[in-house]
Structure 1
Amino acid sequence: MSAVETMASSTSKPIVLLLCLAKQPYFEEMYAHMLAALHARATLSASKAKQLITAPVSERPDAIYAIDAGVSKAKSNKLLKHLITYCKEGGTVVLGGNFTNHFSLGEEGTKFFAKWGVAWEPGSYHRTTVYLNPNGIQGLDTRGLEPSFSIKALYLANVDPNARVYSPSAQSRMQSHVFAPASVDTAQTPAAFTRLGEGYLGYVGDVNAEDAATKVILRMLHL
């Protein structure tokens, strides 16, 4: 019996693989509410990542949540290829948690997303108020998500408008104790979700474990 079959036999909950390659010591404390929400809705696995990702489709986890940027590093290139294949063959992969805190910016970050086949680019890093896409997002149940909230995040640029879960408005301003309340790029998004082959790729750039961002992550994981 496979690892996934063993987990599935003990519960009817969806199976979510936590992909953790560069875990930080503060992660469990900082993201305690998010981990509790995941545990309440899914069976979590944090072991044998490659075996689960490359297993037959019927034995794979329902979704994979990459909670750090380890998968974006050169030493993880082989695993990344398996992860992309898993996604394109019908899996769901969400990049979030502590991912953005150690993610390479600029050209390296753009190259990482290009490997997935998306044109996303690392954008600005700031806090502002963002608003839920009123047109909805393909494959994402947005019911129960906050209509708007303030989030400090690494935003993404060059994301198709139909894949921007949240975006700033023309009235949104940078929220900072140091910098002036300047206008922000309304074409950038802190949360993106798009179809990739037969599956889905999600990104949440939240860096402060906001409750509203946790709701987005749960929805992206179909929980």
Structure 2
Amino acid sequence: MPNVLVLSFEGFSFSSRQLYEQLLPKLLSRAVVHESQSFQDASSYITSGWPSIILVTDPVITFEEKNNLELLQAVADYTKQGCTTILMGLFAAAVEYPRLDTIFREYFDLRWRAGEYTRHDIHLLTLEESMIRSQSLAHSFRAKALFLSRVPAAQMVYVVSMGVAMSAYGAFARVGLGKLGYVGDVNFTEEPERLILAMCHLDRPEDDYADPELIEQRPMD
């Protein structure tokens, strides 16, 4: 079974279901899950090579303090070695935008940038099957989120048109040998739960929509 390391440093315990109602039970039935609420514990698990997936539930590792920066570097390095890391939960709601831009660029070699914090109707785009299964994902819904700009079309999962540009509610990219996912939702509803599971490759056929709609074709980058 995959090993999932959950980083929760701001007091909103993932294990108490304060973030998502159904995500934890599904993860526990499909993976081994450990929640770290201290830097020392998180660093120990990463150094040991234990996690195959890291869920970052708040922006604490982005703070410009020594211990935070060391853990951020460890997460970035470990991701590039083959781990799947997902920024989710309270992350988008509380992260500082200029700092997020710097982290995407300097730690993960991505051109993603923080965009507009707003509410929009969003729709699903298709990703290659090796990146994410789309069968279990909602095809469109209304969401309040921190959207990303400058995301290449091939890395977009959910999008909204903002003028002539497309902004990403969800993004997923290869980073070295691993993958980095971003979920911009600031609420904790079923749709982001499904997206997180799909990014973890822990969604199952029983999670699929019974009556799938036509998914819009991906625009050219």
Would the TM-score normalized by the shorter structure come out above 0.5? yes
Letter of the structure 2 residue corresponding to residue 51 of structure 1: S
Q: Specify the SS of the correspondent of 1:188.
A: strand
Following TM superposition, by how much is the alpha carbon of 1:186 offset from its aligned partner in structure 2, in angstroms?
4.5
Distance 1:200 1:130 in 2: 23
* Structure 1 unpaired stretches of 5+: 1-12, 170-182
Q: Deviations over 1:126-180 (max 9, x none)?
A: 11111111354652122221121111110011111100101125xxxxxxxxxxx
Q: Displacement of 1:78 after TM fit?
A: 0.4
- C-alpha separation in 2, matches of 1:91 and 1:160: 21
Structure 1 partner of 2:4: 16
The answer to whether structure 1 residue 78 and structure 2 residue 63 are counterparts is: no
C-alpha contact 2:20 2:189 (8 A) present in aligned 1: no
- Name the counterpart of 1:178: none
Structure 2: which 5+ runs fail to align?
203-221
Q: Is the 8 A contact 1:53 1:83 kept in 2?
A: yes
Shift in alpha-carbon separation, 1:25–1:66, aligned structure 2, 3 A: closer
- Structure 2 CA distance, aligned partners of 1:20 and 1:62? 17
1:69 aligns with 2:62: no
- Work out whether residues 59 and 95 of structure 2, in 8 Å CA contact, stay in contact via their aligned partners in 1: yes
Give the structure-1-normalised TM-score: 0.80
1:14-163 equivalent positions in 2, closer than 5 A: 14-24=2-12, 28-47=17-36, 48-55=41-48, 59-75=49-65, 76-105=68-97, 107-114=98-105, 115-134=107-126, 136=128, 139-163=131-155
Letter in 1 for 2:190: D
Contact 1:62–1:92 (Cα < 8 Å) also in 2: yes
CA distance in 1, matches of 2:77, 2:163: 35
Percentage of matched positions with identical amino acids? 31
Aligned to 2:184: 205
3-state SS of paired residue (2:23)? helix
Change in Cα spacing, 1:38 to 1:184, as seen in structure 2 (3 Å) is: farther
Report which stretch shifted further, 131-140 or 89-98. Answer: 131-140
Q: TM-score, normalised by structure 2?
A: 0.80
Deviation of the 1:53 alpha carbon: 1.1
| Alpha-carbon contact 1:137-1:193 (below 8 Å) kept | no
Q: Distance in 2 between matches of 1:81 and 1:184?
A: 36
Number of residue equivalences? 194
The structure-2 alpha-carbon separation of the partners of 1:22 and 1:117, relative to structure 1 and needing over 3 Å to count, comes to same
Change (3 A) 1:37 1:131: same
Q: Which has the higher strand share?
A: 2
